């Protein structure tokens, strides 16, 4: 009786050690957001004020995790780099707030330039892009900031590029959430090819023209609208609003 009991105690002890190690590595070493960082969130994310206490805690934790796990590379003279990393981490956390799988393995590196930059991908000047092969998002810091200056103009570079990454992430992941995401993309594609829907888009002027490029750009542009003007979106395009709502599992109209 003694030997089996000791063996059981050893197993339990080892299991507790693993839990403690995991906790210390993933949680204890992450410092909470400072008061000044929370002010940055309040000033740039209107929805932050609407979140419940529990949602705010989850949002803040995911910001910290994203910022800790991803590599941020700053090229050139960029003031307040900490704020830029916070804004981008918060954007990623906001788009995944309703998801169980929020780590976005399709992103490993975030490169930030002061302004527009020359892209080696297509040899043109860019303000932002997502490279799935390199698992890298590239941003112009100036244009990221502009995306937050007017919170309801449906132009947010951070949201746009992270939407591209989320879409690609749904392809490489094999989770139930990713499967559901792909199903909704198919529904969105069907709308995008529907003549009546296209005509409605043209007459409403709600989505900017860049979204008409292809279904991937349409999703990214529509996600910008979903985040910035959810009330108008729901009123004008309720079917599309519901599709994106299922994708993100978060309702910006009624958080």
Tens digit of pLDDT for each residue in 89-125?
999 999 999 999 999 999 999 999 999 998 877 778 9
Under DSSP, the state recorded for 214 is -
Contacts of 44 (CB under 8 A, 6+ apart): 87, 90, 148, 151
How confident is the model at residue 18, as a pLDDT?
42
pTM score: 0.87
Whose CA is closest to 69, among 99, 92, 42, 94?
A: 92
Cα gap 73→250, rounded to integer Å: 30
How confident is the model at residue 253, as a pLDDT?
76
Q: How far is CA 156 from CA 25, 35, 88, 145, in A?
A: 34, 25, 11, 9
Residue with tokens 């729901």: 234
Least confidently predicted of 24-33, 58-67, 113-122, 156-165: 24-33
Least confidently predicted of 52-66, 108-122, 165-179: 108-122
Does the pLDDT value for residue 154 go beyond 60?
yes
Q: b or e along 163-179 (b: 16 or more beta carbons within 10 Å of the residue's beta carbon)?
A: bbbbbbbbeebeeebbe
Partners of 138 in beta bridges? 111, 129
pLDDT mean over 223-228: 97
pLDDT-based confidence at residue 211 (cuts at 50, 70, 90): very high
């Amino acid at each position: 009786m003694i030997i089996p009991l000791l063996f059981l105690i050893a197993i339990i002890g080892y299991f507790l050690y693993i839990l403690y190690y995991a906790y210390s590595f993933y949680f204890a070493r992450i410092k909470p957001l400072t008061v000044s960082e929370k002010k940055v969130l309040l000033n740039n994310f209107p929805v932050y004020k609407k979140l419940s206490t529990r949602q705010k805690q989850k949002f803040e934790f995911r910001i910290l995790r994203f910022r800790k796990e991803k590599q941020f590379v700053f090229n050139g003279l960029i003031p307040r780099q900490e704020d830029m990393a916070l804004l981008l981490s918060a954007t990623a956390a906001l788009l995944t707030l309703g998801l169980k799988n929020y780590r976005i393995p399709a992103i490993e590196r975030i490169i930030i330039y002061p302004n527009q930059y020359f892209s080696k991908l297509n040899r043109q000047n860019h303000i932002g892009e997502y490279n799935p092969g390199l698992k890298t998002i590239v941003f112009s810091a100036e244009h990221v900031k502009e995306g937050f200056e007017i919170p309801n103009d449906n132009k947010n570079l951070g949201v746009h590029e992270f939407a591209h990454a989320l879409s690609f992430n749904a392809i490489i992941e094999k989770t139930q959430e990713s499967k559901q995401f792909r199903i909704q993309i198919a529904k969105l594609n069907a709308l995008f090819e529907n003549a009546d829907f296209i005509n409605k888009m043209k007459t409403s002027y709600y989505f900017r023209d860049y979204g008409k490029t292809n279904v991937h750009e349409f999703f990214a542009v529509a996600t910008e609208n979903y985040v910035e003007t959810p009330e108008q979106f729901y009123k004008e395009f309720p079917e599309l609003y519901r599709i994106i709502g299922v994708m993100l599992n978060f309702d910006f109209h009624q958080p």
